[in-house]
Structure 1
Amino acid sequence: MKEQFSRNLGIMSEEDIDKLQGATIAIAGCGCIGGFAAELLVRMGIGKVRLSDPDTFDLTNINRQCAATHLTVGRPKVAALRDHLLTINPELEVSEYDSGVNESNADEFVAGADYVIDGIDYFAFHDAVALHRAARRHGLYVMTAAALGFGTTVLTFAPDGVTIEQMAGIPEDMPIEALKGAAFPPSGYASQLPSYVTMEHVRTWLDNRSIPTISVGQALGPGVLVSQLVLHLLGRKTPILVPDSYRIQFED
């Protein structure tokens, strides 16, 4: 066991830490959810990560995304997050998919992983469905989170449980190509909106393809997600599975 993980002892055993060191987490999306989740996992001792994202950082990402700084604006998100994670653990094994995850490479991306994190952009729902379908084929859990203002919702999909298609109300055999332009229904993340959000706000944000979000909500989600993932990986606790979810909302 490395000294840098010694403060885990008492909460985890040496055997637990060794198990984390041998685990592989496939993280699709290196922005809000994926970036913070990756950092938490690496600080906890996860030894291998796969990172995917086709985008580069811009100034509007700095308010909430883990590796977004004035030094990384213009850099590919995968490369910037990789470099950040390697400063935390230089021995971390990182696989990079800088063209993102899609129907053509989703099986390769998840094969041999222990868990999958879906941090794919909300407006790339078709790629998220491709990721979930590949995870189901490989018998893997998929965890995702969404932030709304000061709160968050965390969803965990079991490989043999309720699917993302069922949650979205679409056929499970619908071709990925036919899903382009579709989106996961906001009601799947929050049955009750905060008082400062109306459905008119939501419709406008979706039409403009720009959803307002802040750092705390984007940090809460990965914190809950990683807690549930690690506890499940260590055999301590089964995560809350969809259609149920873990929700935190500090404003009503």
Structure 2
Amino acid sequence: MIKEQFIRNLGIMTEEEIQKLHRTTIAIAGCGCIGGFSAGLLARMGIGTFILADPDVFDVSNINRQCAATHHTVGQKKVDALKNHLLSINPYLEIICYANGVNEENAEAFVNEADYVIDAIDYFAFPEAVSLHRATRKKNLFVTTAVALGFGTSVLTFSPHGVKLEEYIGLPEDISIKDLKGQTFPPAGYSQSLPAYATEDKLTEWLSNGTIPTISVGQALGPGVLVSQLVLHVLGRKKPPIVPESYQMQFE
């Protein structure tokens, strides 16, 4: 029987599809912007189990765009704050937390019980993202990621049998995680056309300062597209664009 809070999902999804989502486990690496909003949407869609990872805590500067970031959660571990937020949506959720984040040592354990993986790892933690992608390929899982581009977004889904993350951005496939230290995902890899306010000079300046400007709408658009594609894929209705193809939405 469908719980009352999911009754309005009926009609768009069948009872069998809602039950399938309840039996689905989503691993989300990164509990801030993309990860937090994605988790909230998935919880309202009826996903039953989450595996969350993030080593960071919320600070005041996160409040402009991150799902569980409020003045009440400043100083809290992101995994704990997001877990509490999700349980306030559905107290019957099963949630496993990795409070030290995802890394080369634990990535395989992190995805071991997952059905689908979301890569929402911080932009400047690229070695950890590569570790996550390598673990998903070993487990034969799809991994999807999104980036906020000001007033827009791009969403990329990697198949375990398709183009690898390393290959996509032009790195040797056998490069060691140690040798990736200081490496970042090139912005051009997210989008064929960056917004006018993100010029090459601006990007270079932002990256050198270690802070990329970002606002709430892009961080909401990305998860909206990502979760739609993920759920339709899980339900067997429609396969998302697979890298090297991607989905982009941009408002200037």
Q: TM-score, normalised by structure 2?
A: 0.99
- Residue 21 of structure 2 aligns with an amino acid whose one-letter code is L
In structure 2, what is the equivalent of residue 157 of structure 1? 158
Q: Structure 2: which 5+ runs fail to align?
A: none
Aligned-CA RMSD value: 0.5
- Residue 152 of structure 2 aligns with an amino acid whose one-letter code is G
Aligned partner of residue 97 in structure 2, secondary structure: strand
Rounded Cα–Cα distance in structure 2 between residues aligned with 1:13 and 1:19: 10
Structure 1 residue 228 displacement after superposition: 0.4
In structure 1, what is the equivalent of residue 36 of structure 2? 35
In structure 1, what is the equivalent of residue 244 of structure 2? 243
Aligned length: 251
Rounded Cα–Cα distance in structure 2 between residues aligned with 1:66 and 1:109: 22
Rounded Cα–Cα distance in structure 1 between residues aligned with 2:119 and 2:198: 25
Name segments (4+ residues, structure 1) moved above 4 Å. none
Structure 1 residue 20 displacement after superposition: 0.3
Rounded Cα–Cα distance in structure 1 between residues aligned with 2:106 and 2:153: 29
Query: 5 Å matches for 1:58-77?
Result: 58-77=59-78
2:228 corresponds to 1:227: yes
Rounded Cα–Cα distance in structure 2 between residues aligned with 1:194 and 1:170: 25
In structure 1, what is the equivalent of residue 174 of structure 2? 173
Query: 5 Å matches for 1:20-169?
Result: 20-169=21-170
- Residue 193 of structure 2 aligns with an amino acid whose one-letter code is Q
Rounded Cα–Cα distance in structure 2 between residues aligned with 1:232 and 1:244: 16
1:139-163 superposed Cα distances (whole Å, 9 cap, x missing partner)? 0000000011000000000000011
Rounded Cα–Cα distance in structure 2 between residues aligned with 1:51 and 1:197: 31
In structure 2, what is the equivalent of residue 7 of structure 1? 8
In structure 2, what is the equivalent of residue 193 of structure 1? 194
- Residue 53 of structure 1 aligns with an amino acid whose one-letter code is D
Structure 1 residue 71 displacement after superposition: 0.2
Aligned partner of residue 244 in structure 1, secondary structure: coil
Rounded Cα–Cα distance in structure 1 between residues aligned with 2:229 and 2:192: 22
Rounded Cα–Cα distance in structure 2 between residues aligned with 1:147 and 1:248: 10
Rounded Cα–Cα distance in structure 1 between residues aligned with 2:122 and 2:56: 10
Rounded Cα–Cα distance in structure 1 between residues aligned with 2:244 and 2:63: 32
- Residue 8 of structure 1 aligns with an amino acid whose one-letter code is N
Structure 1 residue 197 displacement after superposition: 2.1
Aligned partner of residue 105 in structure 2, secondary structure: coil
Structure 1 residue 128 displacement after superposition: 0.1
User: Percent identity of the aligned residues?
Assistant: 67
1:119-138 superposed Cα distances (whole Å, 9 cap, x missing partner)? 00000000000000000000
Aligned partner of residue 207 in structure 2, secondary structure: helix
Structure 1 residue 167 displacement after superposition: 1.2
